[in-house]
Amino acid sequence: MTDATAGQVRAPRRPRRLQADLSLLLGGAIVVVFLVAALGAPLFAAHDPLASDWLAVLQPPSDVHPLGTDDLGRDVFSRLLWGAQASLIAGVGAVLIAMSIGVPLGILAGFSRGWVDIVVSRLTDALLACPQIMLAIALAMFLGGSLLNAAVAIGVSTVPVFARLARARTIQICAEVYVEAAVSVGIRAPRLLVVHVLPNLAAPVLVQVSLTMAVAIISEAGLSFLGLSRPLPAPSWGAMLTVGKDFIESAPWLSVWPGLCICLVVVGFNLLGDGIRSRLDPRR
């Protein structure tokens, strides 16, 4: 192969790598900004998010209140910062629950096959038959409205996603030649899982974690909007949207800022997941 031909083969890969790097950097930057805002809420919030000021009700953005105030005179910027904690806590908790249950089930089904695979697959199909947000709402209503229960409800409703991913990837890994060779020389199942299955399963699970974080944050905002997450007056983005819908014409900033935060953090996690997937894909 000549240098010119090699250059033509390599050239199309550069835009893909550049696009993956841009997605990874931009998504990572957005996620880091919101993480810093959530963790630094006690430092960055100039006002108490629960303190009402009846002389500053529904004030537009100003020097004292950069993003305005709500119907009780509470600072919107401070409530956004503390609300970021609720969204990220619910997202991380839901992902940990879904991953800790779904991944072992998927590996067990894909590695064991037989009746174990049939039971896990049918259970997964049954849960996937119900829309995820509807299942989360039903579980949250059964458990009661709180941030912890919302995270549990979202996590349980997301278990089938991780289970199906882990099962499919485990079956694919077990069909590889090097795994069959390892089995032929007498390597036992525990060592086979640790040495071959889990390392090759880490990349797709990591991508799914990033994408599921975005879904979990949207779901938490939806549950909070319905009053099934952190109870009022504790700040959360969904609860702020609930209040803002009643003042959409007179005080649009009450809905704009929490909606924009939800949109940005979801886009950030999606870009991050897309960038990770592109960078870890050996075909690219």
Domain annotation covers residue 52: no
- The alpha-helical segments, DSSP class H, found in the chain are 3-10, 13-39, 41-44, 76-112, 114-128, 132-143, 147-174, 177-184, 189-192, 198-225, 237-244, 253-280
Domain annotation covers residue 54: no
pLDDT of residue 182: 75
Distance, in Å, from the CA atom of 176 to the CA atom of 161, rounded to the nearest integer, reads 23
Q: What letter would DSSP give residue 247?
A: G
Q: Identify the bridge partners of residue 180 per DSSP, sorted by sequence position.
A: none
Domain annotation covers residue 25: yes
Provide the number of structural domains found in the chain: 1
Kindly report, residue by residue over 126-150, the tens digit of the pLDDT. 888 888 888 899 998 888 878 889 9
Kindly report, residue by residue over 218-260, the tens digit of the pLDDT. 898 888 888 888 877 888 888 888 888 888 888 888 889 999 9
Domain annotation covers residue 191: yes
Kindly report, residue by residue over 149-161, the tens digit of the pLDDT. 999 999 999 999 9
DSSP character string of 140-199: HHHH-SSHHHHHHHHHHHHHHHHHHHHHHHHHHHHTSHHHHHHHHTT--HHHHIIIIIHH
pLDDT over 50 at 9, yes or no: no
Domain annotation covers residue 57: no
pLDDT of residue 5: 47
Distance, in Å, from the CA atom of 216 to the CA atom of 218, rounded to the nearest integer, reads 5
At 104, is the secondary structure helix, strand, or coil? helix
pLDDT over 60 at 88, yes or no: yes
Distance, in Å, from the CA atom of 242 to the CA atom of 222, rounded to the nearest integer, reads 10
Domain annotation covers residue 167: yes
Q: Domain span at residue 258?
A: 17-40+74-280
> ∠96-97-103 over CA atoms, to 5°?
85
Domain annotation covers residue 124: yes
User: Residue 232 is part of a domain; what is its CATH number?
Assistant: 1.10.3720.10
Domain annotation covers residue 173: yes
At 75, is the secondary structure helix, strand, or coil? strand
